[in-house]
């Protein structure tokens, strides 16, 4: 989810463009909110014109949809404002249609927008990961159980949490008169779209309805305030921890270093293990089994068997250490 810092951006300031990628039907228009230029993964505001019809389809990317205006149908099911779905890659989505038109947030998480007509799941598709909920009507607002906590008056509905990464998709609201006087940063990237309402932030000013940001890790944000309240959709690409402070001008690198020092102080054994030579390796993320012995390909560069703890001379870290 490497995308450049976009903040603030207001989608009402730009026109819709026609979606012309192969497979998508006429009557689909989009505003690009953020995009990973390497993978094509992106977040868009999408307008489906009245009469739009898309046959059953699959995508080779995890995708998320949040209905923000109007109504569409998935098969026979009416999906009103607040309908949210997470569709794992390769899982077939029912026929999508809208009589009077609608607007949705549409997110492709792995690659550029892509679609293939199919009413069957692709081989290996993980249908158990499918989420579909009417988030406005069927879910209660909850006080976040994050610690350190935001000030009272910021509530959340968790739509999805990735089991492995703890990446979140969620609705949040600020009640009228909400304020928070400290500054926050996170170890994860964070994005948000204002479905309704305006909030103020010290660094970036007012963010109105249609406002959006994609914020990489460790960037200061706050203090906050909202006079009339906010309804918004947010996502992170990892665990959402509030690192609160009151130093308005610290840079991301300094914030990151501060967290690294804290990890070394508070979890010295974990820190030492993570820093062990050879653990800074792609398989560190995906290894399993009692001794993590396995073989793999490095994107075609080479393949070998090895045990973690061995120095891998072919990684960037190994190359650096050879110098
Ligand atoms: Fe944040």
Alpha carbon of 175 to ligand 1 centroid (Å): 17
Predicted local distance difference test score (pLDDT) of residue 276: 80
The model's pLDDT over 135-173, given as tens digits with 9 standing for 90+, comes to 999 999 999 988 898 999 999 999 999 999 999 999 999
Q: Are residues 190 and 242 in the same domain?
A: yes
Mean pLDDT of the chain: 88
The model's pLDDT over 309-322, given as tens digits with 9 standing for 90+, comes to 333 333 333 333 33
Q: Are residues 18 and 116 in the same domain?
A: yes
In a domain, 216, yes or no: yes
Report the C-alpha gap between 171 and 195 in whole angstroms.
Answer: 10
Q: Are residues 11 and 71 in the same domain?
A: yes
Predicted local distance difference test score (pLDDT) of residue 279: 59
Alpha carbon of 2 to ligand 1 centroid (Å): 17
* % of the chain residues with pLDDT over 90: 80
What is the pTM (predicted TM-score) of this model?
Answer: 0.86
Q: Are residues 119 and 10 in the same domain?
A: yes
Alpha carbon of 248 to ligand 1 centroid (Å): 15
In a domain, 213, yes or no: yes
Alpha carbon of 131 to ligand 1 centroid (Å): 24
The model's pLDDT over 58-77, given as tens digits with 9 standing for 90+, comes to 999 999 999 999 999 999 99
Alpha carbon of 113 to ligand 1 centroid (Å): 27
Structure tokens at 208: 């109105």
Alpha carbon of 127 to ligand 1 centroid (Å): 31
Angle at 215 between CA 224 and CA 208, to 5 degrees: 50
Alpha carbon of 72 to ligand 1 centroid (Å): 31
Between these two residues, 308 and 84, which has the higher pLDDT value? 84
Q: Are residues 126 and 168 in the same domain?
A: no
Q: Are residues 61 and 163 in the same domain?
A: no
Alpha carbon of 222 to ligand 1 centroid (Å): 8
Alpha carbon of 232 to ligand 1 centroid (Å): 13
**Near ion ligand 1, which residues have CB within 5 Å?**
190
In a domain, 234, yes or no: yes
Residue that finishes a domain, picked among 214, 236, 251 = 251
Mean pLDDT in residue range 87-100:
98
Alpha carbon of 244 to ligand 1 centroid (Å): 10
Predicted local distance difference test score (pLDDT) of residue 270: 87
Contact 190, 234 (CB under 8 A): yes
- 120: domain range? 6-135
Alpha carbon of 185 to ligand 1 centroid (Å): 6
List residues bridging with 193 in a β-sheet.
212, 233
Alpha carbon of 190 to ligand 1 centroid (Å): 7
The model's pLDDT over 246-284, given as tens digits with 9 standing for 90+, comes to 999 999 999 999 999 999 999 999 888 888 866 555 555
The total number of residues written for the chain in this structure: 323
Predicted local distance difference test score (pLDDT) of residue 2: 86
Predicted local distance difference test score (pLDDT) of residue 253: 97
Alpha carbon of 138 to ligand 1 centroid (Å): 25
Alpha carbon of 215 to ligand 1 centroid (Å): 9
Alpha carbon of 184 to ligand 1 centroid (Å): 6
Predicted local distance difference test score (pLDDT) of residue 172: 98
Between these two residues, 290 and 85, which has the higher pLDDT value? 85
In a domain, 298, yes or no: no
Report the C-alpha gap between 189 and 204 in whole angstroms.
Answer: 17
Alpha carbon of 225 to ligand 1 centroid (Å): 13
Q: What is the number of other CB atoms lying within 10 angstroms of the CB of residue 240?
A: 20
Contact 136, 82 (CB under 8 A): yes
Number of domains the chain is built from: 2
Q: Using the predicted structure, report yes or no on whether residue 290 has a pLDDT greater than 70.
A: no
How many Cα atoms sit within 13 Å of 139 on the Cβ side? 20
For 25-85, the DSSP string reads PTTEEEEEEEE-TTT--EEEEEEEPTT-EE-SEE-SS-EEEEEEEE-EEETTEEE-TTEEE
Q: Are residues 85 and 190 in the same domain?
A: no
The CATH number for 221's domain is: 2.60.120.10
In a domain, 280, yes or no: no
């Amino acid at each position: 989810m490497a995308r450049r810092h976009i903040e603030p951006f207001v989608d009402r300031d730009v026109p819709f463009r026609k979606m012309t990628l192969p497979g998508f039907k006429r009557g689909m228009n989009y505003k690009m909110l953020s995009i990973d230029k390497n993978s094509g993964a992106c977040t868009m505001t999408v307008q489906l014109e009245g009469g739009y019809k898309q046959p059953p389809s699959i995508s080779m990317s995890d995708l998320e949809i949040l209905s923000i205006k109007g109504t569409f149908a998935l098969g026979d099911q009416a999906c009103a404002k607040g309908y949210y779905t997470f569709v794992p890659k390769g899982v077939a989505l029912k026929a999508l249609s809208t009589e009077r038109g609608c607007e949705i947030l549409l997110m492709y998480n792995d690659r550029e927008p892509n679609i293939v007509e199919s009413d069957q799941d692709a081989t290996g598709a993980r249908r158990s990961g499918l989420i579909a909920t009417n988030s406005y009507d069927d879910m209660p607002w909850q006080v976040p159980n994050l610690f350190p906590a935001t000030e009272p008056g910021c509530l959340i509905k968790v739509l999805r949490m990735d089991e492995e990464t703890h990446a979140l998709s969620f609705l949040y609201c600020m009640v009228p008169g909400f304020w928070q006087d400290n500054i926050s940063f996170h170890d994860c990237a964070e994005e948000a779209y204002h479905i309704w309402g305006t909030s103020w932030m010290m660094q970036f000013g007012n963010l109105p309805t249609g406002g959006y940001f994609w914020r990489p890790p460790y960037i200061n944000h706050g203090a906050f305030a909202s006079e009339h309240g906010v309804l918004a959709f947010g996502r992170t690409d990892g665990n959402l921890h509030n690192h609160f402070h009151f130093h308005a001008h610290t840079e991301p690198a300094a914030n990151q270093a501060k967290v690294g020092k804290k990890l070394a102080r508070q979890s010295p054994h974990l820190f030492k293990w993570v820093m062990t030579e050879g653990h800074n390796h792609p398989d560190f993320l995906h290894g399993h089994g009692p001794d993590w012995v396995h073989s793999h390909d490095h994107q075609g560069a080479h393949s070998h068997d090895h045990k973690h703890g061995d120095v891998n001379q072919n990684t960037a870290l190994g190359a650096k250490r050879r110098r």
